[in-house]
Structure 1
């Protein structure tokens, strides 16, 4: 479904000034060189000014002090922070996921489930006993919602997501396709102390390699996800063993992130693609973990910490510390170590020449 909006209305939504014809309607947002007469060109940096000449846009979003008339435009919205403006622009043109209103006749809903006012439920959705769906929640096709699950108001669950029993999910949560919320934790134990436990206690100095069978520890703690959380495609979040695994308000998890059992993720964290967090680790508020970073079990990462891409966090991280490398160390220390490592061949060559 195509959406249109006037320049004046969009500027009002962005809280930004505009110049020119405020009644001009635009149908979609485009890069400058791809924009046609009915499109809104996005050129929020002077570097993109020349690209406007390659397209046919009549209106654009420009940087704050742009001379829009000299660029041949009929209207322009002027913004101070381009990336922030993108949030409002994309929201204005987002047509949603195209679900028809109401409950599709192929959905299977347990009689004891409660469906909030205005909720939309797509084809082949399954909702278990005593589940509770908030007002205006949108559930896409083939979503599975287990017994006792609670989902808040205005939640959006994309196709094929699986939400296991006892999960509690807050308001305005977005869960992308294929995510699995509340899978069992990876918890096993041996009758006697295992060789893994021995290695951990002795740092590998004394290990009896005699094998033992692993016995399963069931996961009964559930998952609690706060308000305004976004869960990416194919994310997996294990439920806790006894207490719940928790994701704090406003946190955003990218595609293929894995959260182990009993983990606590604080508020407004960013966990980027393929981040893995092992069981019982605690992550503070406003933490950023870049792509493919990993955290060992039973450690604490302090609020405001930044973990660089591909880093392996094996011990506690203080509040506000930037870390990088494997094992992760302070970012500047890692850079110094890397520089020293690159100098090693030259240093060794010099030593060889002196010895000869």
Structure 2
């Protein structure tokens, strides 16, 4: 029986992965500014014998390795960018860039894929084409690195049959691999609403159309979208994040604005909520005599894990870590630009435990858990070997 990568195969690489992870953590770069990180990644891949393509969709890097005569191809993606947050961990490898830190664990994601890359290049225990994608600008929203790399011909230049990625998961034990078939992470849409009323003196409201009152009625009406329009077996969120209007206590404002965040897990519910928001906002405004402008921006789509690829990844993870050790991941209302890849190719997005006591993502005291490095690298190596076997 053919032998595939095991956790113990990465014991000797653990010290080097720690050095890489701590180097990346100490030298974070913001979205679309990952020049040094990309150069570091490219240098490692070239050293190990990969065919390296730089500047894909910005500072994106793709390392390609062919072995044998297999005709299958796989893509595995890691993200590289950091966040505009000041670190407070006081670790010996803390960020040296003022106001910038790896507060989402992308340093760990990149390190794990590099760890797998070195192993796969050394062992060559596969037959087919391996495409390793190091993506920039995951943190900047729907027009970030995934869309930029796709627009730059990622899948035409580096064809693949399936694509896989992962994200660390605070709250789950370090090294735990969590899977979910179908919807995993939410689509994220943003709605900006501007209400136009008729301003005037606060003592003469009967001569005015008060946009703050109109906006208040809209806020309350929007609470019925999920509770009364969405099937109770579905999951969705409509949050009014901002409500701005007025300049003084004795002035009725001329206009007011609201912004909403909408999270959904199915295309049907996503469309339904959009229709309901338009209807509620427009009819509420009309009932008060106000007018309204609505900007509805569709963000990342749903992270939808293909059943076949998820079953395969679950099988590989179970082989690696043991029977019963791969729990189902709960639905995550956050969003992720890996969803754009899944709109083009079948694949699976995986969650990897970062520790039950891990600080939350995007906070100044967050740090990637080094105890997960070996598991992540071994998972990618075994998955690539099995897929290309």
Q: Which has the higher contact order (CA 8 A, sep 6+)?
A: 2
Whichever of the two has the greater Rg, that structure is: 1
The TM-score with structure 1 as length reference comes to 0.22
The TM-score with structure 2 as length reference comes to 0.21
